[in-house]
Amino acid sequence: MGVAAADPQGGSGRGAHRLGRGDMEPLGRRDARMQLPAALSAGAVAAVAALVAALLLLRCQDSGPGAGSSMAGTEALSKLREDFRMQNKSVFILGASGETGKVLLKELLEQRLFSRVTLIGRRKLTFEEEAYTNVNQKVVDFEKLDDYASAFQGHDVGFCCLGTTRKKAGAEGFVRVDRDYVLKSAELAKAGGCKHFNLLSSKGADKSSNFLYLQVKGEVEDRVEELKFDRYSIFRPGVLLCDRQESRPSEWLVRKFFGSLPESWASGHSVPVVTVVRAMLNNAVRPSDKKKELLDNKAIHDLGKADGSLKP
């Protein structure tokens, strides 16, 4: 359980910290669990301090309410899903090996929303479950994407969860993955006939930001908009909470930090990955005449929880 760094192929598209969903603790147990592990380094403490500072900054920069998040109810959503299935649409996912991409693929298959599902990535993924049998995989070289234009052709909907971290790839590598790879993929998707492009961005994304991460995310949002998809949906989650087997000292401390916060504040700056994924899919099935939709962390929470554990 912990904060996961994204795979250059996959990743959450967020590139930020991700925490275990089950790690939120009642305040009454906080003191008993706040002893730092022996392996906790000064560098880990510094990393967490930087995260806290960034969260406070984002609180000041919050972009306000999202693109509308209320649903008519479980029955209406179920009908929207059924109508969507009848359209026999195809979909591609960029970043299916990352934390968000993996959950997106699983949820997408369980809901059976698309007649054809294609993963586009730098390596072929291995699945044991029978549900993944009919998933198509296109292996590409992101440094030569023009040579793989055919992988992006014939898809009605696209989800981009592509991303890495500066810590993992360095500043130059981060920009190459989170900006260059994403933009080129979006261009090829548009040329290939994609009508609805979904981009996983970040809370506080702003091309004029002094933070490289937020600056790149904001730049990508704007440049993808210039491609003029029929429908363009941007998701700006806060800190992504996910399940992760391995654990690191800095991840442990960040989890404890969020566990000590009132739920209302924590939910304003963080969100479970599964909630983000369900918000993406719930948004995709509901009709919209908007060319651009911007869903902030609150809108993601509301829309992602619209159906609870409803299955079609």
Which residues are catalytic, by number? 213, 217
CB 161 within 8 A of CB 98: yes
SS3 assignment, position 198 = strand
Decide: 270 and 54 in contact? Cβ < 8 Å.
no
d(CA 120, CA 188): 12
Q: How many CB atoms lie within 10 A of CB 160?
A: 26
Strand partners of residue 231: 196
Residue labelled with tokens 């359209």: 87
The number of beta carbons lying within 10 Å of the beta carbon of residue 298 is 17
Given a contact cutoff of 8 angstroms between Cβ atoms, the answer to whether 21 and 274 are in contact is: yes
